[in-house]
Amino acid sequence: MPVADEQVLITNVRQGSHEAFRVLVETYMKQAYDVAFSILGNHEDADDVAQEAFVRVHRSLASFRGESAFSTWLFRIVKNCSLNRLKQRKRKQGREVELAFADHEVVSLNTGTGQAEDTRIYVERALHELPTLQRAVVMLRHMNGLSTKQVSKILDCSEGTVKTHLHRGLKKMRERLQFLKDGLE
Amino acid sequence: MKSHRHVRKELYDYLQGGLSGRDHKAIEEHLAQCQDCRLELDAIRDSAAILRQHARKPHEVRPAFYWQQFAAKVELKIEREREHEQPGSIVGQLLETFLIHRRPFSIGFASALMMMMIVFGVWSVWFKSPSPDRSVAERPRVESVPMESGSVQNTSLDLRAQDYLEQSKVLLIGLLNTDTKNLKTSAPLLLREREISRKLVSESATLTTSLNDPSQRRLRELISDLQLILVQIANLSNEQEVPGVEIIKGGIEHNAILFKINLEQIQRTTRTAEKTGGTAKKTT
């Protein structure tokens, strides 16, 4: 969305327009969901957190000064909400990976069939098993196509750190999926 | 000559063609002489290709219907938050905004607040001895409330909920019967439905907070589901009425809302009959 249009929308939301807020939500909801999932690795939590982030955006849009892009500001809120959720989850139960993967697998198994589907499950599992920060960087940078700078702003780390995590994450994926490549050749 | 570590960090951008001409050339020269880094490049290239080919973006897992309802769910949460707002909550919001966006100052602020609370606590313990009369006066007056008030309150709440369900049912049936092909003729009707929905949305917010009893869980969930649909009806815009109405119709059918309302009403009738039967037996 052009920056000028976005500014108009933000101004309208501040003046109480529901329509404008709905347009903002519908423009960014999928990306916000992806950011939440990249950190949480769980669809149920991503659903909750993405919604919660928009509620916060609505509440504190007055404090948005426009120093960064709206999307970056929104994704940082999503990241903060996701980290809070991670803390809560770790406090409640020490079985994050099992739960998250169970959720992931159910969704995968319900769609599609055959070898392509099996491959997808392996790939998504390998991605899912990466350490949180590596997974988040790989998903945001490679799968969602955000720039290194954007990812570094969202995740609050240097661009060098983003590059390092991306390299390590992709390399680890390759090690875990070696058998897939051997099978395809 | 760049170090291996530096080169490896840049390999992804090199593959994507995201480096400046000078940096690209420097990496190329390094790769020409370093087999280890070439292997790293192959690994990155393979992973990137596999991910692009086989992995879905997380949002793609969710069906289209989920995304059609997303904005309405957010609006519902905002609406609920407003309903729960108390006089002191503006201070809470300011505090939250302050704590989120001014993190470097928030620690100092929190410490100052803690100190004030400690000083106040010490002051109230040392200098304010509680008067026996005051403590009696401050005692909660729960005892004076008749024991049956809870059940009376529950009954009136139940009646309100049933009234709410009936009104919603009529509204949804009306909407399901709306002919989207001839929306011009249905326009006044939709206007009325939006008005009613707005009223029902605020009623549902009150009901969901008041229905606290564990036995009312299913009713509470039904009202929450209904609230979501009602918010969508209330927010129907003039330009998007046709797709909007179709989405809402889909939502009503997908969630089997009318079936759930009917079920709740039948169960309520059965419960009332059982109660009446029980009371009759006791009196005989």
Q: What is the ipTM score, two decimals?
A: 0.83
Q: Would you say B205 and B227 are in contact if contact means Cβ atoms under 8 Å apart?
A: yes
pLDDT at B132: 42
- Residue contact A167–B12, C-beta within 8 A: yes
The percent of residues above 70 in pLDDT, for chain B, comes to 70
Q: Would you say B219 and B161 are in contact if contact means Cβ atoms under 8 Å apart?
A: yes
Q: Which residues of B touch A107 (CB under 8 A)?
A: 61
Mean pLDDT value across residues B100-107: 55
**pLDDT confidence band for B282 (50 / 70 / 90):** low
Mean pLDDT value across residues B55-81: 90
**pLDDT confidence band for B10 (50 / 70 / 90):** very high
- Residue contact B55–A164, C-beta within 8 A: no
Decide which of B68 and B143 is more confident: B68
Q: Which residues of A touch B10 (CB under 8 A)?
A: 163
Question: Between the ranges A79-93, B25-39, B251-265, where is the mean pLDDT highest?
Answer: B25-39
pLDDT at B109: 64
CA neighbor of A21 nearest in space, from B77, B117, B157? B77
Mean pLDDT value across residues B154-180: 80
Residue B131 has pLDDT above 80, yes or no: no
Structure tokens at B179: 């002919």
pLDDT at B176: 80
Q: What is the pTM of this model?
A: 0.59
pLDDT at B140: 38
pLDDT at A6: 84
Give the integer Cα–Cα distance in Å for B199 and B171: 12
Question: Between the ranges A73-87, B66-80, B115-129, where is the mean pLDDT highest?
Answer: A73-87
| Minimal C-alpha gap between B174 and chain A (Å) | 25
Q: Which residues of A touch B67 (CB under 8 A)?
A: 29-30
| Minimal C-alpha gap between A77 and chain B (Å) | 9
pLDDT at B155: 67
Out of B9, B62, B74, closest to residue A51 by CB: B74
Mean pLDDT value across residues B3-18: 90
- Residue contact A59–B57, C-beta within 8 A: no
Residue B57 has pLDDT above 90, yes or no: yes
Q: Which residues of A touch B105 (CB under 8 A)?
A: none
Residues of chain A with pLDDT under 50: 95-112
User: Which residue type sits at B34?
Assistant: C
Lowest mean pLDDT, pick from A95-99, B6-10, B48-52, B239-243: A95-99
Give the integer Cα–Cα distance in Å for A53 and A57: 6
Q: Residues of B244-273 as b/e, b for ≥16 C-beta within 10 angstroms?
A: bbebbbebbeebebeebbeebeeeeeeeee
